[in-house]
Structure 1
Amino acid sequence: MKSPSTSSSRPTVGTALERIRTWCRWFFGVALRRQTYANVAYLFLAFPLGIGYFTVLVTGFAIPISLPFALVDIGRTEPGALLIVAIPLVLVTVCIGLPSALCALFASIELSALERLLAGRLLGAEVPTSEPATSVRERARRLVFDRGTWKGVGYLFSKFVLGVVSFVLLTLGITFTYALVATPLHYRNEMVGIHIGDPIEFVPEFTYQHDGWTIDISPITLSIADGELLSLYVDSLAAALAVSAVGVLVGLVVLHLFNAVAWLFARYTELLLRNTQPSVFSEPPGRDSSR
């Protein structure tokens, strides 16, 4: 006769094994999921797009922002010269600065639409837009006074920082993983691998103190010379294969890190670009933007 404790423990063990199998499928299956490489593609695009957005916006806002500061500076330092240069600077601001700023705002709406498209296609984000303008006059008013326009401008400026972060993460993650996985190919070559640029020295100091008297232990200098790091610890094919196996695990962790960063980017895009204006070209007035 089976005891009740034995029969009740079997579902618990089975549940634990199922959880382990589920976790293993989740962890090791990251390299086989299509979404992983869509996330990596989005992170790769973030850096060049961030530079492009920053260039467009800075170029558009440079004149209308800088000229008022120039007027203030001239008025503070050379009040007499302000009477001479004020009218030309105002004309330049009105005739060149304001149109360039409006062009930058219009470009920000279209670039925000591009970001919504990329986030939706690559990250699976859901970013609804506001209702499209029904007339040219309404669109012109919303171009300047709609909160969504300025949310898009802020997002595009921040994309420069996010692009730099993405580039650093991708570069470090991919190169570090490759250096570990490819250890059997280069562990004897000091010109390839993870390098220490400068010698590292560590001088520990130990002090024992008790009732007013101390004993200082003479420090011992620990140092690692500059050069290829893996070659300091890997000097055989077996050790290189072990490091390569560790590199595969590190690569899986790096892919999970990329997915986590992409998930954060998707939520950030949903937060800032939600209810921004639809594109003039892909979502003209009269078309349901929710589709």
Structure 2
Amino acid sequence: MENHQARQTDRRVPTRTLGVATDAQTYKNLLYLVARFPLGIAYLTVFVTGLSLGVSLAPLLVGLPILAGVLAVAGYVGVVEATLLRTLLDRDVEWSPVDPNNTPVVPYLKQVATDPINYLLLVLAFASFGTGIGLFVALVVGFALSLSLVVAPAVYWREGVQYFDTTESIDLGVTTISQGQLAIETLPEALLASLIGIALTVAGLHLVNLTTRVYADVTEALLSGSE
């Protein structure tokens, strides 16, 4: 009985490891992370514009309602984030900002200006810009590198594809350092590079799932904790 369970466990480990590449949720997670980039830019554009205008006009008192309006818009960041969590990650998260249609203007602006969650959502919006750029660059560079290795057997011999050892030297004055690039000039080298690329791709997809889980958990905790 123990041997049977051990064999089942041995079979499940590689299945879980490699199955990440065929799991549809993995690519939803990837889309969730990629979405941080355009969302971060949109958040930054809206809130920097609003805050700059509000602060510059604050001495004339006109800027105060503008700043309150910025915080009101920040409440709708929660709507966007909750929608992403439900749609892409199947998280049971709901978020409803203060409804301006049910509250007079002045009490509404006062309410959104004194609600701490709107400030937290504003921080989340700005954080999305920084994390969005970092995630986008990491995803593009990481998967471009790993996938270029995966397809090496099919393209390494083609004209214009450079898998060559081009040694360059950096002169530091007192010494010289040689820099070498990856050399793939034969089929065995290309097959080895492809295996390395597959391993890197699978590892990258697992990292995507882990990163998504952490980011989504933090966002869900923020939205759920303020209900």
4+ runs deviating over 6 angstroms: 194-198
Matched, 1:258 2:224: no
Of 65, 88, 95, the match for 1:122:
88
Report the counterpart of residue 223 of structure 1 in structure 2: 178
Larger C-alpha radius of gyration, 1 or 2?
1
Q: What's the RMSD between the two structures over aligned residues?
A: 3.1
Distance in 1 (CA, whole Å) between partners of 2:138 and 2:169 is 24
Matched, 1:59 2:49: yes
2:21 is paired with a residue whose SS is helix
Distance in 1 (CA, whole Å) between partners of 2:168 and 2:190 is 24
TM-score using structure 1 length: 0.66
Q: Bigger relative contact order, structure 1 or 2, given CA contacts below 8 A and separation 6+?
A: 1
2:178 is paired with a residue whose SS is strand
User: In the TM superposition, what is the alpha-carbon distance from 1:190 to its structure 2 partner?
Assistant: 8.3
Instruction: Report Cα offsets for 1:173-222 as digits up to 9, x if no partner.
Output: 21011111111233246854679999367xxxxxxxxxxxxxxxxxx977
Distance 1:64 1:131, change over 3 A: closer
Which has more helix, going by share of residues?
A: 2
User: In the TM superposition, what is the alpha-carbon distance from 1:99 to its structure 2 partner?
Assistant: 3.4
8 Å contact 2:79–2:96 — kept in the other structure? no
TM-score using structure 2 length: 0.83
Matched, 1:43 2:33: yes
Question: Can you give the 5+ residue segments of structure 1 that lack an aligned partner in the other structure?
Answer: 1-10, 69-89, 202-219, 278-291
Distance in 1 (CA, whole Å) between partners of 2:97 and 2:47 is 25
8 Å contact 1:151–1:273 — kept in the other structure? no
User: In the TM superposition, what is the alpha-carbon distance from 1:270 to its structure 2 partner?
Assistant: 1.3
Letter in 1 for 2:44: F
Mapping of 1:1-291 within 5 angstroms? 11-66=1-56, 90-91=59-60, 94-95=61-62, 97-129=63-95, 135-137=102-104, 139-188=108-157, 192=161, 199=168, 223-225=178-180, 229-230=181-182, 232=183, 234-276=184-226
Distance 1:172 1:145, change over 3 A: same
Distance in 1 (CA, whole Å) between partners of 2:138 and 2:156 is 24
User: In the TM superposition, what is the alpha-carbon distance from 1:148 to its structure 2 partner?
Assistant: 1.3
| Equivalenced residues, count | 222
Distance 1:26 1:98, change over 3 A: same
Distance in 1 (CA, whole Å) between partners of 2:4 and 2:27 is 33
Among all aligned residue pairs of Structure 1 and Structure 2, give the percentage whose two residues are the same amino acid. 30
Question: Can you give the 5+ residue segments of structure 2 that lack an aligned partner in the other structure?
Answer: none
User: In the TM superposition, what is the alpha-carbon distance from 1:276 to its structure 2 partner?
Assistant: 4.8
8 Å contact 1:30–1:36 — kept in the other structure? yes
